[in-house]
Amino acid sequence: MQRLSQSPTDPAFVQNPYPFYDRLRAAGDLTWWEDYALPCATSHRAVHALLRDKRFGREIPTEQAPDIPEHLAPFYKIEAHSMLELEPPRHTRLRSLVLRAFTTRRIQTLGPEIAQLSHNLIDAFPKGEVDLLPAFCQPIPVIVICRLLGVPESMADQLLRWSAAMVAMYQARRDRTIEDAAATAATEFADFLRGYIDQRRSQPAEDLITQLIAAEEDGARLSTDELITTCILLLNAGHEATVHTMGNGIKTLLDTQTPITPDTTEATTEEILRFDPPLHMFTRYAYENVDIFGHSFKRGDQVALLLGAANRDPDLWPNPNSFDPTRQTKQNTSFGGGLHFCVGAPLARLELQIALPILFNRCPNLAFTQPPIYANLYHFHGLKHLKVKL
């Protein structure tokens, strides 16, 4: 296995990680990334296979569970009940409860709300320059997930702050300041939800929190801690990826001068997801000794699945570094796969398919006022700002 080095916080890499992915992929299905000290799956076939291989999973093997520093206890108290970090049977139970709210029928009913919200945000744009990240890309997914859960929309800005502090724990730039901020956010987020859940117990409503409470009381054994963590996960994951995808997509459409029309919306959305996805790395543990793609894994070994690299694999997509909504749609890896395939994928697609055409129809003369810059967020990939004139 070849070994390659690349700092994930290097400014050039942050702005464009894809040339390094090409180097990794050229070295084989699995390549060693020195800076992470991990083998990385870079080809589409390897990432696709490992996402679905039940010999690998997200949950840390019991014998490898690390000692948690005291200052991070509040953060990992939340993580301990996250279905993103669990495997069956706990993962199965939590996911099945959440999917009750993410039915196709329920998601489709949100279409008119997403459209109206998009129009309202555009109506509120200031004259002249506007940063589309806080003015458009961030409010849509966070308000929609608030409505699904039943959390007050007035909390949207605070939820964004808590979420940003917590997800920073997964970024290469993580340091003690970030860790302290994440622990504080986890404590405050959990306290808010605990109080809100208590309120919903006595005042049920037509929302996901009420449904999860009912399932707990009907004997599904969903603990209050699991309920809090599930709500935090849905709020964090329910907007984080969509914000980045929407911002990256607008940038790409403007860069390439690609129109988005009702007839091309679905194909353009899929190409946006493939071309510049919001999450670039997803790690898994081996649960047994495994020989795969020329590498021998021992139980407890980790492997990094590079979703951003898989989506630019020339074996699957001709001219993969070109943005081409007319290309034949094939399964990208942006939403993961297997047991941990993103439960919010249908909602994210719907938000993109509704909001982007409205934006470009209402604002046909959008143009950059400053070059868009990606933020230092790896292994996420999203913009720091998206400043345009109308």
Helix, strand, or coil (residue 245) = helix
Give every CB contact of residue 15 below 8 A, 6+ residues apart in sequence. 373, 374
For the segment 83-111, what is each residue's pLDDT rounded down to a tens digit? 999 999 989 988 988 887 778 888 889 99
Read off the pLDDT band of 219 (50, 70, 90): low
Only one residue has tokens 């987020």, namely 189
Helices (H), 203-338: 208-215, 224-256, 265-275, 307-310
What's the angle, vertex CA 107, arms to CA 105 and CA 108, rounded to 5? 65
The DSSP-derived string for 64-130 is GPPPPPGGGHHHHHHHTT-GGG--TTHHHHHHHHHHTTS-HHHHHTTHHHHHHHHHHHHHTPPSSEE
pLDDT at 113 over 80: yes
Q: What is the CATH number of the domain that holds 303?
A: 1.10.630.10
CB of 243 closer than 8 Å to CB of 352: no
For residue 90, give both structure tokens: 């706990």
For residue 56, give both structure tokens: 């690998």
Predicted structure pTM score: 0.94
The count of domains in the chain is 1
Q: Which pairing describes strands 295-297 and 290-292: parallel, antiparallel, or unpaired?
A: antiparallel
**Mean of pLDDT values over 34-44:** 97
**Domain, as residue range, for 286:** 3-389
Query: Amino acid identity, residue 199?
Result: Q
Which of residues 151 and 32 earns the better pLDDT score? 32
pLDDT at 220 over 70: no
| Average pLDDT value over all residues in the chain | 93
Helix, strand, or coil (residue 247) = helix
**Mean of pLDDT values over 202-223:** 80
CB of 43 closer than 8 Å to CB of 315: yes
Please choose, from the candidates 173, 170, 285, 153, the residue with its C-alpha nearest in 3D space to the C-alpha of residue 233.
170
Rounded CA separation 326/319 (Å): 12
Rounded CA separation 255/248 (Å): 10
Write the Ramachandran bin of 300: left for phi over 0, alpha for psi from -120 to 50, otherwise beta: left
CB of 52 closer than 8 Å to CB of 162: no
Helix, strand, coil tally for the chain in percent (to 5):
55, 10, 35
Read off the pLDDT band of 135 (50, 70, 90): very high
What's the angle, vertex CA 312, arms to CA 306 and CA 313, rounded to 5? 90
